Structure 1
Amino acid sequence: MGNIVSISLSLDPIITRCSDCATGQAIYICNLEDMLKAGLQCNMEPEACYYRDQQLSSSAHLLDNLHALQAEVAGLKELRSDLMSRVRIAEDEQQLKCLNQVEGWLSRAETLINHADQLIVQSPQHVEKLCMGGCCSRHPRSTHKFGKQIGTILKEVKGLKENGDFSDVACKPPIPSANKRPSDPTVCLESYVNQVWSCLQKEQVGIIGIYGLGGVGKTTLLNQINNKFHDTTHDYHVIWAVASQDRPIEKVQDQIAKRIGLSNEGWESKSRDEKAGDIFNVLCRKKFALLLDDIWEWFDLAGAGVPLPTQENGSKVIFTTRRLDVCCQMQQNMDNNIRVECLPPGEAFKLFEEKVGSETLRMHPDICKLAEAVVEECAGLPLALITIGRAMASKKTPREWEYAIEALRQSPASAFPRVGQEMYPKLKFSYDCLPDERFRSCFLYCSLYPEDYPIGKDKLVDCWIGEGLLDEITNLSNARNQGHFIIGSLIDACLLEKWRFNVNVKMHDVIRDMALWIIAGESEKEKFFVKSGVQLKEQPKAEKWEEVTRMSLMNNQIENLTEILECPNLQTLFLRSNLLKVIINDFFKFMPMLRVLDLSKNRNLEELPVGIAKLVSLEHLNLSQTGIKKLPVELKWTRDLEMIPQQLISSFSKLQVLKMVGCGYGCLSVLEEMEHLKYLNVLTLGFRSASELEKASRFNKFFSCAIECVSLEGFRDSRSLNIMALAKLQHLHALSLSSCMDLEEVKIERNIIEGAGCFHSLRSVNLIGCNNLRDVSWVIFAPHLELLYILKCQGLEEIISEEKLGEVAELKGNSNLFSKLKDLVLRYLPKLKTIYHHALPFPQLKEIRIVKCGMLKKLPLNSNSAKGQRLVIKGEEGWWKDVEWEDESTQNTFLPSFKPVF
């Protein structure tokens, strides 16, 4: 029978322990040594005792390791949690990237913790076997194997904890190889994407051209190529740049510089050649892919500083253009030039249906079939399909659709070869559908501006008023409202595009071409001469100046206007942004109908010709940012003014708008003349002293009704300013204080509050270089303020003083403070500590920009501020890291709003 083991033991302790194990009350603390002391009696042979001792030792070791593993895993979890918090702060607040070694450690920790937790969960059944057997396991091999697993993972946990001490958890992320670009879903462009990508893989191919009609999808295709670079692994540094007809090399240089980190404060002052050298020195050491959108002529890559792609450097240039000849000039191999064709019928109808809406197509059984005819007239051109599709979205009857088809078919043949014949007659339908001739004239007027030019909406409306394109409305406010209504209608018709917070509009280049085509081919009333942004160096010539009604030569390089133009019907003349030095005296002699004249941004132009006084029909004159010293009207930021000739302003008897902001000299001398301008309903003035402002306020006609913009500049005669007179102005919408070095305070008086409508129309406030001002609490009296811009006020400590608000009981706790504010810009304010002491709602706020305001640690925001708005907060990364938040909820709300400025 072998060795017989006789065991005598007290059952109560074992039963109790087994019961504990079974109920989970003492899973990890079965101490066999205590159990033996409680009554274990053994009578064994030496061999059996040795076997027994081995089992007892193994069991005790297993239980000790279980205890230790529990403690070590708990510590590992705490260490992992702390490390993850550090990583989150570094990534979210500091915009850093987690180190690879930290990511690897966290991944290993997660795997190890999961494994350890599984073993701990399984341990009760193994411990139970120890208890049920009294002193020995009934399954010794299983117990041994489990104990070995516990020991191994315990060692791994201890080792991982020892390696979890990281001084740094993140670093500044590398510049991405490509920036993701927003792009509409491709419509039948996948094959072109693959074709371009396949061409890119060929070592011998350095330059790839993409060409086709305007609006066919070339830019969309280039966007897709860019995003494919972003989504795939490669060794290219991808640069996106847009060229256009106006100074294409300089514009591309600036975009490249920004992408590769060369754009700084000194960049703008460099010559084109200097910029090219800097760009070349960086790109020659990189393998790059330059995606160049919308070139109109041969682009001098070397002149821009771009190394020519070769097999040796492996770089690539991919460009889009509308012209095949440009493709051939850039590189001669036609296999590397890819033409983007119009959409086939099926894909064209899908795009049209998406824009017109399936609901419209189902309004009547005949509409869907008629829609196919409209799509056919669009000839598969995406831009035409989109434009006309949106125009037809509100057409719910078959008759409207039948008219649309007939209108598209009846358009006259284009004088433009190819492009005009294939596209403009179709696109013109949106133009034909405008409500009346007034809307159409306003639309065509926009083509005077250069391609891709952001047009200020207010400036555009003022030109329309000057031209007489709007209704004869005596109320200026109503006229401007009508102008903005027309702009909105043109945007709805996809003939204009919103730009930059809806302050500007842009005309798509294809739509602009269509407008010029309409003027050239069909319009009997409108005869335009447009040479804007084409780098003219001399005064152009034309065959029939007498027919021209509007002329634009803006954004060129013309220095002298020395030839008389006989333009008896000319009403608008744009000469903005040239290099003008000389205009002959009789230049304006034969322009009796001229109503709008823009000479702005000609900094070398120091005087106007005598003949300008003969422009008796003039209603809008812009001389902003010129060097003119003798000025009749509208001085806006022209700081060189020395004299305004007496009796000259009154000769412009039809003037409606007179702007003299920033002139700083002679304003008072012509106020009496202004009283003779019976049509004048807008006046802007600049003053250089408090006494001058006080004297001007005596001209009640202008200060009560006409004045719209005031500049207070360079005050030297007063430390305190009482702006009571300005507070009462009915139409004041912009106020600027600049370089008022002695000014210490702007007084708040109780009678301002009691006055009805104080600063009721004020929308914009600019403070620049007022170094002794400590606060600008007076802006609380501007309930409709939309823009607050403060720059280089060295002594400014707070925007709104709680102490000063406390002096005015009616305003304490004012919940409407900044309720209309859209943009807040604070720059170079070294002592600024507070904007406002309490959080504000900011229901309209869109952007906050804070630069070099090191002492400003807290923003007047809480988790309820700017609700429903996409607020953008721009500033330096170092400043953003130190911002103090009201609570964690506020921090979480605004962390995604930050965009760094450099």
Structure 2
Amino acid sequence: MGNIFSISLSLDPIITRCSDCATGQASYICNLEDNLHALQAEVAGLKELRSDLMSRVRIAEDEQQLKRLNQVEGCLSRAETLINDADQLIVQSPQHVENLCMGCCCSTRPRSSIKFGKKIAKKLQEVKDQKKNGDFCGVASKPPLPSATERPSEPTVGLESNFNKVWSSLQKEQVGVLGIYGLGGVGKTTLLNQINNKYHDITHDYHVIWAVASQDRPIERVQDQIAKRIGLSIEGWKSIEEKAEDIFQVLCKKKFALLLDDLWERFDLTRAGVPLPTQENGSKVIFTTRSRDVCCQMQPNMDNNFRVECLPPEKALKLFEEKVGSETLRMHPDICKLAEAVVEECAGLPLALITIGRAMASKNTPREWEYAIEVLRQSAASVFPGVGKEMYPKLKFSYDCLPDERVKSCFLYCSLYPEDHLIEKDELVDCWIGEGLLDEHANLSSARNQGHFIIGSLIDACLLEKEDKYSVKMHDVIRDMALWIAGESEKEKFFVKSGVQLKEQPKAKKWEEVTRISLMDNQIENLTEILECPNLQTLFLGGNDLKVIIDDFFNSLPMLRVLDLSSNMNLEELPVGIAKLVSLEHLDLSFTRIRKLPVELRTLVMLKYLNLEWTRDLEMIPQQLLSCFSKLQVLKMEGCGYGCLLVLEEMEHLKYLKVLTLTFRSALELKKASRFNKFFSCAIEHVCLEDFRDSRSLNFMALAKLQYLCTLRVLRCMDLEEVKIEHNIIEGARCFHSLRSVILEQCNHLRDVSWVTFAPHLEELDILECKGLEEIISEEKPGEVTELKGNSDLFSKLEILRLCHSLKLKTIYHHALPFPQLKEIYIIGCPMLKKLPLNSNSAKGQRLVIVGDEGWWKDVEWEDESTKIAFLPSFRPSIFYEMLDID
């Protein structure tokens, strides 16, 4: 029995297992091995399917720039999970297979085997299902366009204020088109980058599009960039019009910001398919250009055009130090100071600061830095790495875009003047005329107008800087670039050593090739060697200490057309050899101490321009000499010591004379002058009345009739008490029509200057040391002034008013005036002038500056409190203006 019992006990587990197999779960054990083999096969197939799908996705993403579909992403993710899970089950399977017995229909661990078998069966079905769902016709599509794409940029120095102004303007609803202009290399593109990235960082309202305009086919190229940015295919487009239609259909439904970099001409937004920005659509167009003219054409409202200026000294130094590196600057205690001199020569232009800063990063001795300063001062910066190959070519694009060779030559001519030199526009144009750079015109006025038009074009191209309405200047780096261009040219050969403290006549290797020489603003005393320049056309020698010019100096200059000897205050005599300059058309002897003109000048029959202004020592001009200059068009003699009446007699024979400036030294002389035809037929631009001693009352009738008179000086007329203008002259339509500037100095008995109210376009009024003057416009005469002009027109064009050291002056005008153009008032040494003709509406909208003594300013009596509040910020103490040359 015991044995039987024992057997029955040993059979219980088997019976239990067989009982389990008899249930519905037995199949998980019986089919385990088959399911495992099937799972391995299906997983292998899923892996192949996943690999093929991934290959298709990579091609779509990498080559076609598409984005994978979400369902494809989900499929790949699920397949990855299934494969990982299945691989883990397969790895675990051997131990479960070992538990199988009785032909794999039973297990020694039935519960574990059933559980594992369930997992295998389930995973097998999931893999099969995944394979069925993994068949895709397309795996990717075009990605949604981001609102803005961030652009790479470096940290900037000094552009913060520019950015803040531009960004602030862009926030205004009424601003749709905004221009940014300035010199090449000044930071316009960097500023546009910052605007792009600002849009990227803070707003998703705008679809931001960046496009670079090219000089070649700008519309087509910008259209292609816009199309790419908004997801349009450019394939199949045949014309600008077709592109424009497609672009317009997309952009008219978007609020966009189009950033156009580097425009060289007006860009026609409509033709390109860009909807014009309006307050309704809220879109923006922001562009950069080197040309102010392009700005005006794109956006006539100049309030919405911003000029990027060069960096101020402290910002310029910071940028330069960043590029040089602090380690180099610490190599020697002198280098920091020398670095400041290098920065000064770069004149705040970021491109120059960066390029030269990098070039100096390896220079760690003071001598290397001293050499760099010397090179920069001699306008030879092309020796620096990156300047001649990178910096100048970038700047030269502005030069290349000038309309023709004439304008290019006029631009290069400006580099003859020294660094930071204020170039008078009229002087420059007269030199261009003398050189023959302008068109042949029927009259001098047309030629001058063309010259001023070219100056305007150069200002618009940011190749010249407007200093004031009378003068321009050239940025130091632009000047260096111009000299580099001239040096590379086969046709233009310059020798320029202006403002470099030369004490002796310089030498050059190839004088015969030189076409223009400038030795202005040096300390040369003697010219003792013959200048052999057979092709020379312009010679600038002004602003030196010349005493001696040998007679033979001019012997070998047969082509010379322009000669400037002005501002040589020690030059008392001209060499007779000047007669050899048979091609000379322009001769400037102003501000010299020459005592006579040599009779040999008769040979200068081509002369068209002669400037003798402020040659106070000139006492003798040989008879009939001036009449020998039969082609003379311009004769300037204001401040000349030689009597004007003798000149006027000869001028009657100069049929081409058009422009004249004169000085009269008595009322009788002025009266006699009005009898000459040339006095009224010429364009008399400047008149000086000086040292009158023969009259207490002066009639300005003759002067009032001068159609082109723009400057009138009345100097040291000590006895003059009153100026009269006859009533019939006052009523004339063109009384003092062109008069822009009046200077009265040391007229101690003059009581008022009411006559200036009849100069409708007066812009500058200077009254200096008129110690008896009590009022500008007399209260006894306002009746006729008001009757003819009306208070609102008085001084309506006045920009500058200077009143200095007129001790009795009490009144400017007895009522407040609007002064719509007034910019500067100087009142110095006028202690009795307590009230100004200002109210809260005067100079409204203008940035008025009032310069005066602090004690005087405290005692000013204001019309009301609002006027006082309005003008208190305008005051500047006169201590800062004591050295101002107000003449």
TM-score range, shorter chain: 0.5 to 0.7
Amino acid at match of 2:751: R
Matches within 5 A, 1:255-294: none
Amino acid at match of 1:328: T
Match of 1:663 in 2: 640
Which of these residues, 728, 744, 765, is aligned with residue 742 of structure 2?
Answer: 765
For each residue in 1:723-753, what CA deviation from the matched residue of structure 2 results, as whole angstroms up to 9, or x when unmatched? 1011101111111110111111111320111
Q: Deviation of residue 210 (structure 1)?
A: 7.1
Residue 892 of structure 1, CA deviation: 1.3
Aligned equivalents of 2:700, 2:506: Cα separation in 1: 50
Q: Distance in 1 between matches of 2:412 and 2:369?
A: 38
Identity of aligned residues (%): 72
> Of 707, 710, 731, which residue of structure 2 is paired with 1:754?
731
**Residue-by-residue CA offset, 1:750-785 (whole Å, 9 max, x unaligned):** 011122301111111111111111111111111111
Q: CA deviation at 1:894?
A: 1.2
| Higher mean C-alpha deviation, range 664-673 or range 720-729 | 664-673
Asked if residue 451 in structure 1 is aligned to residue 422 in structure 2, the reply is no
Q: Which amino acid aligns with 1:786?
A: E
For 1:627 and 1:215, how far apart are their aligned partners in 2?
A: 39
Name the amino acid aligned to 1:566: E
User: Does the CA-based 8 Å contact 2:673-2:679 persist in structure 1?
Assistant: no
1:692 maps to 669
| Alignment counterpart, residue 510 of structure 1, candidates 445, 468, 477 | 477
Distance 1:605 1:213, change over 3 A: closer
Question: Within the alignment, does 1:777 sit opposite 2:754 as a pair?
Answer: yes
Matched residue of 1:423: which SS?
helix
Residue 703 in structure 1 maps to residue 680 in structure 2: yes
The structural deviation recorded for 1:896 is 1.2
TM-score normalised by L of structure 2 = 0.57
Find the partner of 1:208 among 323, 327, 336: 336
Aligned to 1:803: 780
Aligned residue among 472, 475, 480 for 2:440: 472
Is the 1:213–1:419 Cα contact (8 Å) retained in structure 2? no
Match in the other structure for 2:699: 722
Question: C-alpha distance in 2, partners of 1:732/1:697?
Answer: 14
Alignment of 1:21-100 (within 5 A): none
Amino acid at match of 2:336: I
Measure, in 1, the Cα distance between the counterparts of 2:433 and 2:448.
Answer: 8
State the shift of 1:810 in Å: 2.7
**What is the aligned partner in structure 2 of residue 528 from structure 1?**
494
Within the candidate set 739, 747, 768, 2:716 is matched to 739
Partner of 2:771: 794
Pairing 1:583–2:549 present: yes
Who is 2:835 aligned against? 858
Report the alpha carbon displacement of residue 184 of structure 1 after superposing the two structures with TM.
10
1:426 aligns with 2:554: no
Q: How does 1:95-494 map to 2 (within 5 A)?
A: 183=312, 192=321, 205=333, 208=336, 328-329=365-366, 418-494=386-462
Say yes or no: does 1:519 pair with 2:556. no
Check 1:560–1:471 CA distance in 2 against 1; reply closer, same or farther (3 A cut). Answer: same
Native 8 Å contact 1:620 1:655 kept in 2: no
Quote the residue 2:595 is aligned against: 629
Contact 1:214 1:510 survives alignment (8 Å): no
Sort the Cα spacing of 1:831 and 1:325 in 2 relative to 1 into closer, same or farther, 3 A.
Answer: farther
1:664 is displaced (CA, Å) by 4.0
Q: Is the 8 A contact 1:215 1:510 kept in 2?
A: no
Q: Distance in 2 between matches of 1:522 and 1:742?
A: 60
Structure 1 residue 430, shift from structure 2 partner: 0.9
- Structure 1 gaps, min length 5: 1-180, 223-292, 295-318, 339-412
| Paired letter, 1:601 | S
The 2-side partners of 1:554 and 1:415 are apart by 24
Looking at structure 1, the residues matched to 505 and 316 of structure 2 have their Cα atoms a distance apart, in angstroms, of 45
Question: 2: CA distance between counterparts of 1:604 and 1:473?
Answer: 37
Q: How many angstroms does 1:837 deviate by?
A: 0.9
Answer whether contact 2:335 2:366 (CA < 8 A) is retained: no
Contact kept in structure 1, 2:619 and 2:641, CA below 8 Å: no
Q: Structure 1 655/325 Cα, relative in aligned 2: closer, same or farther at 3 Å?
A: farther
Q: Does 1:595 align with 2:632?
A: no
Q: Distance in 2 between matches of 1:827 and 1:213?
A: 37
Structure 2 alignment gaps of length 5 or more: 1-309, 374-380, 599-609, 880-887
CA distance in 2 between counterparts of 1:191 and 1:721 reads: 61
Q: For 1:532 and 1:325, locate their aligned partners in 2 and report how far apart those are by CA, in whole Å.
A: 31
Aligned-partner Cα distance in 1 for 2:697–2:428: 38
Q: Return the letter of the residue paired with 1:668.
A: L
Give the SS at the match of 1:789.
Answer: strand
Shift in Å at residue 554 of structure 1? Answer: 0.5
Aligned partner of 2:72 in structure 1 is none
Query: Amino acid of the residue matched to residue 773 of structure 2?
Result: L
Change in CA separation of 1:537 and 1:741 when aligned onto 2, cut-off 3 Å: same
* 1:605 alignment partner in structure 2: 571
Tell me how far 1:692 sits from its aligned partner: 1.0
Out of 540, 546, 549, the position equivalent to 2:506 is 540
1:883-902 map, 5 Å: 883-902=860-879
Bigger shift: residues 779-788 or 321-330: 321-330
**8 Å CA contact 1:690, 1:715 repeated in 2:** yes
Whether the aligned pair in 1 keeps the contact of 2:338 and 2:369 (CA below 8 Å) is no
| Structure 2 partner of 1:681 | 658
Query: Are residues 583 and 719 of structure 1, via their aligned partners in 2, closer, same or farther at CA, if it must alter by over 3 Å?
Result: same
1:587 Cα shift? 2.4
Deviations 1:522-557 (A, max 9, x none): 241x22111111111111222333332211110111
Contact in 2 for aligned 1:643/1:665 (Cα 8 Å): yes
Contact 1:800 1:836 in 2 (8 A): yes
CA shift for structure 1 position 646: 1.8
Structure 1 segments of 4 or more deviating over 4 A?
A: 181-200, 202-207, 209-222, 319-327, 330-334, 413-418
CA distance in 1, matches of 2:807, 2:628: 49
Query: Separation in 2 of the partners of 1:543 and 1:831?
Result: 64
Please, what TM-score do these two structures have when normalized by structure 1? Answer: 0.56
Q: Quick one: which of 511, 515, 525 aligns to 1:559?
A: 525
**What secondary structure sits across from 1:477 in the alignment?**
helix
Letter in 2 for 1:846: K
* 1:551 aligned counterpart, secondary structure: strand
Provide the secondary structure at the position in 1 that maps to 2:336: strand
SS where residue 857 of structure 2 aligns?
helix
SS in 1 for 2:472: strand
Rounded to whole Å, the distance in 1 between the matches of 2:346 and 2:444 is 43
**Is the contact between residue 415 and residue 479 of structure 2 (CA under 8 Å) also seen in structure 1?**
yes
Residues 325 and 361 of structure 2 are in contact (CA less than 8 Å); yes or no, is this contact kept in structure 1? no
Q: CA RMSD in A?
A: 3.6
Tell me the CA shift for residue 615 of structure 1: 3.6
**Cα–Cα, structure 1 residues 695 and 321, in superposed 2: closer, same or farther, change >3 Å?**
farther
Q: Is the 8 A contact 2:501 2:523 kept in 1?
A: yes
Q: SS of 2:554's equivalent?
A: coil
Instruction: Give the match's secondary structure for 1:586.
Output: helix
For 1:684 and 1:321, locate their aligned partners in 2 and report how far apart those are by CA, in whole Å.
52
How far 1:332 moved relative to its partner?
9.3
SS in 2 for 1:709: strand
CA contact (8 A) 1:613 1:651 kept: no
Q: Which amino acid aligns with 2:495?
A: F
Equivalent residue for 1:495? Answer: 463
Cα contact 1:616–1:653 (8 A) shared by 2: no
1:569 corresponds in structure 2 to 535
1:707 maps to a residue whose letter is: I
